[in-house]
Structures are given as structure tokens and as C-alpha cells.
Structure 1
Amino acid sequence: MNSYSKGIRIIIGLIFAICVVMVAMAFQSKDAKTTTNPSLTKAPNYPANENGQTYGSAGDAISSESEPDLISAVGVDGAMGYVLKKDIEGEQPKTPEEALAIQNSRPLGGSDIPLYDIDGKTVIGVFHIGGNS
């Protein structure tokens, strides 16, 4: 066995060991989140505006289903407001083929959606999704 192949084996062994440690840490982290912090397993109770729409940070949600109707966001001009969850999610595909068609039809530079006031009706700015802002 030459020194080159021995070195390759050592590098491969180190990479394998690092991957094992990272996977173990990921599982430990996931387990810690779900067992030691009950707030991460319970959907947040978002307040509702006068139109019955819930509002708040999507960061507080435990899943996309528990996100509020109006998600807090900062517009392209720095205005703080809310975007509609349905505007962020966009059209949902039913098949992999539809997913590819939707993805391929999106503009490369992203797109703009309305930024609303807390009432969910008054447009106060623009929020840019995807691409470069």
C-alpha cells in the first residue's frame, strides 16, 4: 500500500466520522426540540384582525399549516407589514409534472406581491419573492 492510498483512506475515514457525528447531532437537536420545549410542539395562538385573519410571524409556527393568514414581512422600501400566506405559497402543484411547470414558469428575477397593513386589505407596499431584490 503506497502512502497516497493510505492518505485517501484516512481522509475518507475522517469524512465518514464527521458525517456520523453530524447526523447524531441533528437527531439529538430534533429530539431536544420536541421533548424539552413544549412551545415547539404546540401551534401558536395568533391574534386575529377585525376581518378574522390571523397575523404574526411565520417563525413561530410549527408547520406551514399553523402559519398565520397574514405573515409579518418587510417590504422592498423597508416598510413593515404583512403578506398573505396564500400569496407566499402560490399555486400548489398536484403532480411532479405540475411542480416543474410552475417552477419553470416563474420569472428568474422573482416576483412582487402586495404588502398589507394589519387589516389585510390596505396595501402599504411591495414584498419581493425570489430572485435578487
Structure 2
Amino acid sequence: MDFPPDLRYTKDHEWVRLDDDGLAVVGITDYAQSELGDIVFVELEAEGSEVEAEGALGTVEAVKTVSELFAPISGTVEALNDALDGAPETVNADPYGEGWMVKIRPADASDVDALLSAAEYKEMIGA
């Protein structure tokens, strides 16, 4: 399993990367997608929605289960990965790249620093 060291992670298996434009790119971890299995549908909050850290951000539906997606930080949803509408399996194939889910304008960018490092996340899941 892959845990890029430049990302931050949540206990709920989301990852976050701050882009140069200040947006926080969010997706689910390689561990999460492997535990879910084949992803068949992703439903996300609408662009412009205000989200609270640890609040609902959407759902990820796999063949046998539906899992909540939680906001890792508070802010405003600025963009959705519309490509997932027609190809949700992209999350399985490339969870840290093309399988990103939303971009959030952080209410406070320093909130990202409070999330888990790759090493802390790996320890949490026992990897």
C-alpha cells in the first residue's frame, strides 16, 4: 500500500494535499479504497457548500457497502472531480491522483498541519 509522505491523513481514511493555489485536495486513502473494494458511485457535497471538519462530505458506494466521506478540514467546497461521475473506479486505480474527490478552500489552512502524517497514519492502521 502507498502512503505518500507529502500528504496529511485523517483517522477516517481521507487524505489532504494543499495545492499552490491554497486549495486542499481531498480523497480517500489507498487503504480505504482497498477495504471498500470496487467503487461504483461517489456522491459529494455541491460546489459552494460550507463544510465542517469531521462533518459529512459525501458518500462512497462500493459493490457491498456504502461509506461516509468526512471533511478533513472546515471550509468551502470549491471543486468536485466530475470525472468520477462516469468513472468512479478511478478511485480504486489512482486514489492519490486522478481519483481525488473534492477541493476545499480552507477556513484555516493551518488545520491541515493538525492532521496525521504518513507515518502516524500507517501506525494507526497497523501497516
Structure whose residues are more often strand by fraction: 2
Question: Normalising by the residue count of structure 1, what TM-score does the alignment of the two structures yield?
Answer: 0.19
Q: Which has the higher contact order (CA 8 A, sep 6+)?
A: 2
Question: Normalising by the residue count of structure 2, what TM-score does the alignment of the two structures yield?
Answer: 0.20
Whose radius of gyration is greater, 1 or 2?
A: 1
